[in-house]
Amino acid sequence: MIPLSKPKKGASGKTGMWRTEKPVLDKERCTNCLLCWVFCPESAIYRTEDKVEIDYEYCKGCGVCANECARGAIKMEEE
Amino acid sequence: MKMEDIPKEELVLSGHSACQGCPLTTAMRTVLKALGKRTIMAIPACCSAVIQGMYPNSGVNIPLLNVPFETTAAVCSGIEAGLATQGIDDVNVLGWAGDGGTYDIGIQALSGAAERGANFLYVCYNNEMYSNTGVQRSGATPKHAWTTTTWKGKEEERKDMPSIMVAHNIPYVATASISHPIDLYEKVTKAKSIKGTKYIEILAPCPPGWRFDYSKTIEVAKLAVQTRAWNLYEVENGKYRINATIRRPKPIEDYLKLQQRFKDAVKDTEKVREMQANVDARWQWLEKMVEITN
């Protein structure tokens, strides 16, 4: 029998546990340019109707989103 | 094309085991969105293997195969032949390997598949070293870069893999960077529409390997393009085209000093001068190729 893996969110568990700093989005400043969404290595930023949301269950807190946000709308805060 | 035109559906699922700030997952997300769900992927031993190789779960929501290190392109040829035999022509076949699995270990299978004109897309995400096994030098490591096997900086120049693929006379070869997602998305979409072997190489700066803070992955990739250390171009049926024309390039130091792997090299003005000269010569070569082939 060939061992088959099945696709699953959280294949390596709740990776939000890895985080020491969390990104916090200021929705007032956000222009929905989607840079954070497209660059997120974790697929942990998702698009809603008009803005983006962060999935803290899986966000590893790398800070790429905060570093790339052109409007400075994402700040990293200690957990 | 605009950013919002990139599909929302994620084929790389959250909660995978790649490092924080990993460039390969950013690249894989964009590439798989461009190819769509009807794609079969082959992945050899590389950092990507930890994303879908955590049996019994996979972090990638498409069918894929874990294959031996040197066989990515051979397996893709097989998948493609199997699909053709069954009369299935709406499934994309994707070979996805790192630079170790492409420049060094997988080059024989890739060369063979390209020569046979097998119909698949091969993507090399280039982190310029064997990151998964703990940062050893590869054929893609640039000169003067530190790795655990080149303590005093690599002494040799890197291979020019895109040119090796162009020399196979395949219909499409392109370079991309994770910092330019729309360019990457468009290249994959174009490659998808072409029959034959297609090769795309994506620069993927690795935070633990290149030794920079993991929030700076995209910044480093962007600087590589802005300093011309990494050029974005495509070769369609032998015709070269530059996709990001950098009129006023930043000095190479801007790119080097962000990375601890060059910390010794940047102290040596002679080495920096040499690297700057190489980068300039490469750009001139590229402009010449555009001129000659168009």
The answer on pLDDT for A2 being more than 80 is no
What are the φ/ψ torsions at residue A18 (nearest 5 degrees)? -75, -15
Answer whether residue A4 is part of any domain: no
Give helix B217-226 / helix B23-35 axis angle, nearest 10°. 80
Provide Rg for chain A, Cα atoms.
14
Q: Judge if the upstream peptide bond of residue B208 is cis by omega within 30 degrees of 0.
A: no
Which pLDDT value is given to residue B187? 98
Give me the residues of A, 45-64, that contact B with CB < 8 A. Answer: 46-47, 55, 57-58, 60-64
Q: CA of A46 to nearest chain B CA: how many angstroms apart?
A: 8
In chain A, the number of structural domains is 1
Residue A7 lies in a domain: no
pTM over 0.95? The answer is yes
CATH number (domain holding residue B152): 3.40.50.970
- Across the interface, whether the CB atoms of A8 and B57 are under 8 A apart is answered yes
B16-to-B13, B19, B57, B63, B206 alpha-carbon distances in Å = 7, 9, 10, 16, 17
Q: Which domain holds residue B65?
A: 3-293
Tens-of-pLDDT digits for all 294 residues of chain B?
999 999 999 999 999 999 999 999 999 999 999 999 999 999 999 999 989 878 899 999 999 999 999 999 999 999 999 999 999 999 999 999 999 999 999 999 999 999 999 999 999 999 999 999 999 999 999 999 999 999 999 999 999 999 999 999 999 999 999 999 999 999 999 999 999 999 999 999 999 999 999 999 999 999 999 999 999 999 999 999 999 999 999 999 999 999 999 999 999 999 999 999 999 999 999 999 999 999
In a domain, A33, yes or no: yes
Q: What is the chain B residue with the closest CA to A52?
A: B8
A68: CATH: 3.30.70.20
Chain B: residue whose CA lies nearest to A17: B15
Confidence of residue A32 (pLDDT cuts 50, 70, 90): very high
Instruction: Report the mean per-residue pLDDT for chain A.
Output: 94
Interface probe, candidates A60, A65, A74, chain B, greatest B C-beta count within 10 A: A60
Q: Are B178 and B187 a contacting pair, CB within 8 Å?
A: no
Q: How many domains does chain B contain in total?
A: 1
Q: In whole angstroms, how far apart are CA B267 and each of B38, B59, B144, B263? A: 50, 42, 11, 7
DSSP element (H, E) containing B114 = helix B107-116
* Contact state of B13 with A63 under an 8 Å Cβ cutoff: no
Q: Is residue A41 part of a domain?
A: yes
Interface residues from chain B to A (CB-CB < 8 Å): 3-4, 6, 8, 10, 12-18, 20-23, 25-26, 29-30, 51-62, 178, 181, 213-219
**CB distance A12–B17 less than 8 Å?**
yes
Taking the CA of residue B54 and the nearest CA in chain A, the distance in Å comes to: 7
Contact present, B130 and B100 (Cβ < 8 Å) = yes
In tens, the pLDDT along A34-66 reads 999 999 999 999 999 888 999 999 999 999 999
Q: Which domain, by its residues, includes A45?
A: 15-78
Note whether B218 contacts A40, CB cutoff 8 Å. no
Q: Which of B80, B132, B79 is nearest to B105 (CA)?
A: B132
Q: What is the pLDDT of residue A49?
A: 85
Under an 8 A CB cutoff, do A41 and B4 touch?
no
Nearest to A11 among B25, B54, B181 (CB): B54
Question: Distance from A42 to chain B by nearest Cα, in Å?
Answer: 5
- Residue from B16, B58, B62, B183 to probe the interface with A (highest A Cβ count within 10 Å): B16
Are B54 and A43 a contacting pair at CB < 8 A? Answer: no
Asked whether residue A8 is domain-assigned, the answer is: no
- B216 CB neighbours in chain A (<8 A) are 67
- Helical pair B107-116 and B72-85, crossing angle rounded to 10 deg: 30
Asked if B59 lies within 8 A of A12 by C-beta distance, the reply is: yes
Task: Give the integer Cα–Cα distance in Å for B74 and B80.
Answer: 10
Question: How many Cβ pairs within 8 Å bridge chains A and B?
Answer: 124
ipTM rounded to 2 decimals: 0.95
